[in-house]
Amino acid sequence: MSALDKVQGFLEQKLAPIAGKIGEQRHISAMKNGLMATLPLTILGGFTLIVSTPPVNPAVVQATNAFNKFLLAWKAWSVSNSFALNIPYNMTMGLLGLFTVMAVAYFLLQKYKMNVIGGVITAVVTFLCVAAPATAVNKETPGALYLSTGYLDAKGMFTGIIIAFLTVEITKFFMDKNIKIRLPEQVPPMVSAPFEALIPLIVNVLLFTTINNLLIGAFGMNIPQLVLKAFAPLVSASDSLPALLLIMFLVNILWFFGIHGGNVVNAVVVPFATINLAENADAIAKGLEPTHILSGGFITLWGNLGGSGAAIGLVVAMLIVAKSAHLRSVGRLGIIPDIFGISEPLVFSTPIILNPFILIPLIIVPLINTVIVYFALTLNIVGKTYVSIPFTTPGPIQAFLATMDWKAPILWIMLMVMDVLIYIPFVKAYDKTLVESENQSIEA
- Please answer whether residues 350 and 359 qualify as being in contact, where contact means their C-beta atoms are separated by less than 8 angstroms: no
Is it the case that residue 345 has pLDDT exceeding 70? yes
Check residue 157 and report its DSSP letter. Answer: H
DSSP state letters, 168-196:
HHHHHHHHHTT-S----TTS-HHHHHHHH
Is it the case that residue 21 has pLDDT exceeding 70? no
With 0-12 / 13-18 / 19 or more C-beta atoms within 10 angstroms meaning exposed / middle / buried, residue 277 is: buried
Taking CB atoms within 8 Å and a gap of at least 24, the contacts of 1-6 are 4/354, 4/356
Q: How far is CA 299 from the centre of its chain?
A: 9
Specify the pLDDT at position 186: 62
Band the pLDDT of 241: cuts 50, 70, 90.
very high
Band the pLDDT of 242: cuts 50, 70, 90.
very high
For range 108-117, the mean pLDDT: 92
Is it the case that residue 367 has pLDDT exceeding 90? yes
What is the C-alpha to C-alpha distance for residues 99 and 129, in angstroms, rounded to an integer? Answer: 15
For range 198-217, the mean pLDDT: 93
For range 275-289, the mean pLDDT: 88
pLDDT, tens digit, 9 for 90 and up, residues 121-132: 999 999 999 998
pLDDT, tens digit, 9 for 90 and up, residues 389-424: 888 889 999 999 999 899 999 999 999 999 999 999
For range 254-281, the mean pLDDT: 82
pLDDT, tens digit, 9 for 90 and up, residues 35-46: 888 888 888 888
Amino acid at the residue 69: K
Q: How far is CA 106 from the centre of its chain?
A: 19
By residue count, the chain amounts to: 444
Q: What sign does the CA torsion over 377, 383, 388, 392 have?
A: negative
- Terminal CA-to-CA distance of the chain, rounded, Å? 31
Specify the pLDDT at position 318: 93
Specify the pLDDT at position 356: 86
Is it the case that residue 23 has pLDDT exceeding 70? no
With 0-12 / 13-18 / 19 or more C-beta atoms within 10 angstroms meaning exposed / middle / buried, residue 366 is: buried
Q: How far is CA 57 from the centre of its chain?
A: 30
On average, the pLDDT of the chain sits at 86
Phi, psi of 146 (to 5 degrees): -130, 145
In this predicted structure, which of 11-20, 57-66, 78-87 has the lowest mean pLDDT?
Answer: 11-20
Specify the pLDDT at position 119: 93
Specify the pLDDT at position 380: 92
Identify which has the larger pLDDT, 202 or 195: 202
Residues 6+ apart with CB under 8 A from 432: none
Residues 6+ apart with CB under 8 A from 276: 235, 238, 239, 292, 293, 294, 295, 296
Band the pLDDT of 13: cuts 50, 70, 90.
low
